Amino acid sequence: MYGKLVMTASAVVFVAACSVDPRDYETTPVVVETAAGPVTCQLYTKERVIWDRAIARPNNMDVKTADNICLQEGQREKSGATTAAAAPAEEPAL
């Protein structure tokens, strides 16, 4: 019984020491130029591109599109590409 308590307490301390707060992994924001205008992306470590998101976007661009542009930029940086990927233009609404 005592052993289980020690194991549980150890696990709690170990998990508490691990940071899962994205703010701990933020890098300097980057600006991606698109046909609709600049998108400012908050990128995280190259291993955590799933957190990458837009923190500023043109008024005529929806959040999902801007976030997708930032995810693509994170993937581009993760792959080690040296030139910025051309960001897709927004598709016209039907």
Tell me, yes or no, whether 37 lies in a domain. yes
Tell me, yes or no, whether 59 lies in a domain. yes
Tell me, yes or no, whether 63 lies in a domain. yes
pLDDT value of residue 5: 59
pLDDT value of residue 16: 54
pLDDT value of residue 92: 45
Rounding to the nearest 10 degrees, give the CA dihedral for residues 23, 24, 30, 32: -60
pLDDT value of residue 37: 98
Give the tokens for residue 20: 């899962």
Burial tier of 68 (Cβ tally within 10 Å: 0-12, 13-18, 19+): middle
Place of tokens 């929806």: 62
Query: How many structural domains compose the chain?
Result: 1
Tell me, yes or no, whether 49 lies in a domain. yes
Any residues with CB less than 8 A from the CB of 31 and at least 6 apart, and which? Answer: 38, 39, 40, 41
Write the pLDDT tens digit of every residue in 41-80. Answer: 999 988 878 999 999 999 999 999 999 999 999 999 999 8
- The DSSP result for 63-75, as a single string, is HHHHHHHHHHHHH
The domain in which residue 50 lies consists of 20-78
Write the pLDDT tens digit of every residue in 7-38. Answer: 665 555 555 556 678 788 889 999 999 999 99
